[in-house]
Structure 1
């Protein structure tokens, strides 16, 4: 993620999402802001968290991958990411329902969630 999102912009985007009818820009900003918070909370390169089509980050200390698909991947849609990252939904419930695909031994992000936005 190249551009740092300010706390004010991130919170404004999350408020727009909470209003129930966010624009694409607000949705993208909210997703990127929460991924930014995750990366700050758990820096590293051993797990790739993907929220297409908006962003992906690498988090958690551990073995670094440099080519191809990383061994530890988390992928979800924007609405699910926002819900689990803000504590509106439990990680385990989203995984059980198939809204989060987490592969690899380090791909359980539940100890890091919810994030303080």
Structure 2
């Protein structure tokens, strides 16, 4: 890309130098002016293309970074959805077993909670 840009710049410079030696209004001057305009349009189009390419490349990098962040966030939420209820069940089961040290579930609170500790659908 850089090579094309340099060649276009050199050609534009050569056309400008050639244009200054021609007589204004002559047929050669008009042809050189048209050639210069065409070369300049090519240079502008090439610059636009390069800028578009850089912008799209940067957007892809940003989108990829956002997707990675989103995946890690969703993974963290999924892990929390799994770990937090298990921690809750473990704490309450430990407390319930401490309370019911004699081996029987006599309290209605722990007996009611014991049925709900298992995360199954009813």
- TM-score band, normalised by shorter chain: under 0.3
Higher relative contact order (CA 8 A, sep 6+): 1
Compare CA radii of gyration and give the structure with the larger one. 2
Report the structure, 1 or 2, having the larger helix content.
Answer: 2
Pick the structure with more strand per residue.
Answer: 1
Normalised to the residue count of structure 1, the TM-score between the two structures is: 0.20
